[in-house]
């Protein structure tokens, strides 16, 4: 079984909704890193030298490769990435190897076989 790592940067108030949607689409778990900061096309606004930017969370999903695209599309839809600028971004990278995922593999075997 091959895996992809989906990394999603979302506004902190969207974290729970995005995690739940990803689980519904086939993700078996998530790691959340709080209080990430970033900058997109437009620079963050400042007021008297203080940056006015919303907090973001970084969500890490280790998912089976055949489920990854559907999970990403679900994340983008729930997080409103394409409909509202600056709401978030998600991307995936290949995972060469992973350990500690045997319990996930046993749950995913039937689901992936249905997709194929």
CATH number at residue 66: 3.30.70.120
Residue 89: name the closest of 36, 27, 23 by CA: 36
CA distance 51 to 44: 7
Q: Is 45 helix (H, G, I), strand (E, B) or coil?
A: strand
Positive or negative, the CA dihedral 41, 45, 49, 50 is negative
Predicted pLDDT of residue 103: 74
State the average pLDDT for the chain: 85
Domain that holds residue 47: 3-115
Predicted pLDDT of residue 27: 92
CB 35 within 8 A of CB 111: no
| 15-30 tens-digit pLDDT | 999 999 999 999 988 9
Predicted pLDDT of residue 1: 75
Q: What domain count does the chain have?
A: 1
Q: Is 10 helix (H, G, I), strand (E, B) or coil?
A: strand
Q: Is the model more confident about 113 or about 69?
A: 69
């Amino acid at each position: 079984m091959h895996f992809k790592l989906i990394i999603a940067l979302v506004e902190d108030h969207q974290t729970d909704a995005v995690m739940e949607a990803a689980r519904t689409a086939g993700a078996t778990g998530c790691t959340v890193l709080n209080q990430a900061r970033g900058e997109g096309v437009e620079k963050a606004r400042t007021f008297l030298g203080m940056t006015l930017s919303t907090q973001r969370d970084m969500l890490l999903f280790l998912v089976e490769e055949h489920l990854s695209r559907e999970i990403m599309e679900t994340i983008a839809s729930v997080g409103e990435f394409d409909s509202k600028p600056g709401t978030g971004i998600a991307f995936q990278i290949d995972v060469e190897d992973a350990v500690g995922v045997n319990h996930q593999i046993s749950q995913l075997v039937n689901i992936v076989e249905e997709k194929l």
